[in-house]
Amino acid sequence: MCRFLVYKGKDEILLSELILEPQHSILTQSYDSRLRLDSRRPHNVHGFGLGYYTSSTLGPAPCIFTSTIPAWNCINLHRLSAKTTSKLIFAHVRATTEGALSDSNCHPFNRNGLMWMHNGNIGGWKHVKRSLAMGIQERWFGSVGGSTDSEWAFALFLDVLDRMGYDPDSPLFNKEGFGHSALRKAMLKTIGKLNALIAAIPDKERKEREEGLDCRSLLNFAISDGHSVVCTRYVSSRTDEAASLYWSSGTSWQQDRGTKGRYRMERKDRGADIVLVASEPLTFERDDWVIVPTNSTLTIHKQAVMIHPIIDEYYNHNPSYKRSTGFAVSKGLDTTTTEDKKESAVDGVTE
C-alpha cells in the first residue's frame, strides 16, 4: 500500500520542511515505512507525486509533479521542494496494488481545482471495475488516464459531485470552492456506491477462487478543492481495522535548534494555523499526533478540524469494540490501535 500526507496552513510552507527534512518525512517513508508490516513489499517504490495550490492569479488548478523514480532517488524532488512554497499540499508515495508503473498511475490526480489521492484498495476490483465505468457519465469516464482503482474512484467521486448539482468543470465552483459540506457528502456517497457495487458481485464470481473473493476495501481518501480538505479512514468491515491515519495541528511547524530533522508542532495558543494529516507521523513526538477514528471523515475548513463518523452497515456503535488488525496487516499496513505498536512507532523502533 501507499503513504500520503496533507498540509493545510494559514501561511505558505517550504515543501522541503514537510517532504524532505523531518525525521520521518514522507520521503523517508518511501524506504523506511514504520507502519507497513508486509515483508514481501517493504518499500513504497512505485513512484511518487506532489500536488500544491499556487497563487489564484495562475488559476484554480493545483500544480502536479509525479515521477516513477523512487522518491529518495529523485534529484528533481529535492530541487523543487527547496524552492517551492504553498498553503495546501498533497504528497504521496506509491506501493502498487492495481495498475502498472507509470506517471499516469501516480497520485495525486486532479480535475480542474479538485485534487485526490488514495491509500488502500477497492475490494473485488476486477469484478466491479466494469460496472463502475458503465455507471458514470461519459465526461468522467473519459477523464481516466491510468489504470488504478484509485483514479476510477476519483472518476466516481466526480460523477457523484456532478449529480449533486456541483459541476466539477464549473468555473465558479473551481474559483470559490465547492464547500466542505458538499465535498464530505460526495465522499460519503462515493463510498456508499463502491460498497453497493461490491455487494452486487454475483455469488458465482465470489466463489471462483478456492479461498473465495476478498471484497473488503481499505478506503483512506483525500480530496481538496483548494479551500477545504476532506479525508477518510475507512474499511468495509465490521470486524477489521482500517489502515493508519493521523492528524496534528498547532500554530507553527518548527525544527529544534541544533537537532537536524527534529521537528515539533508548536502550540502557542488554542488556534490551528497548521493542520497535518498523514498515514504515518512525521515525527516521533507522541503528543503531536492523534489517530483518526476508524470509519470516520476528517474535514479541514478555515483551519478548523471536524471529525464525523461514517455511519453505515460497517459502523460499530460500541466505542470499546476491538477490531482485528489481520486484514490491514495482510495488505502491508499497520493499524496502530494497540498501545505497543503505537509506542514502537513513536520511539523509532521497527517491528
- Provide the annotated active-site residues: 2
DSSP code string of 161-219: HHHTT--TT-HHHHHH---HHHHHHHHHHHHHHHHHHHHTS-HHHHTSSTT------EE
State the Cα–Cα distance between residues 326 and 335, nearest whole angstrom: 9
Pairing of strands 109-111, 114-121: antiparallel
Instruction: Please name which of 191, 186, 193 lies closest in space to residue 168, comparing C-alpha atoms.
Output: 186
State the Cα–Cα distance between residues 65 and 206, nearest whole angstrom: 38
Count how many Cα atoms sit within 13 Å of the Cα of residue 152 in the half-sphere of its side chain: 20
Sign of CA dihedral 159, 160, 165, 171: negative
Query: Torsions phi, psi of 45, nearest 5?
Result: -110, 0
Count how many Cα atoms sit within 13 Å of the Cα of residue 226 in the half-sphere of its side chain: 23
Q: Cβ contacts of residue 115 below 8 Å, gap of 6+?
A: 51, 62, 64, 90, 108, 109, 223, 224, 226
State the Cα–Cα distance between residues 99 and 94, nearest whole angstrom: 11
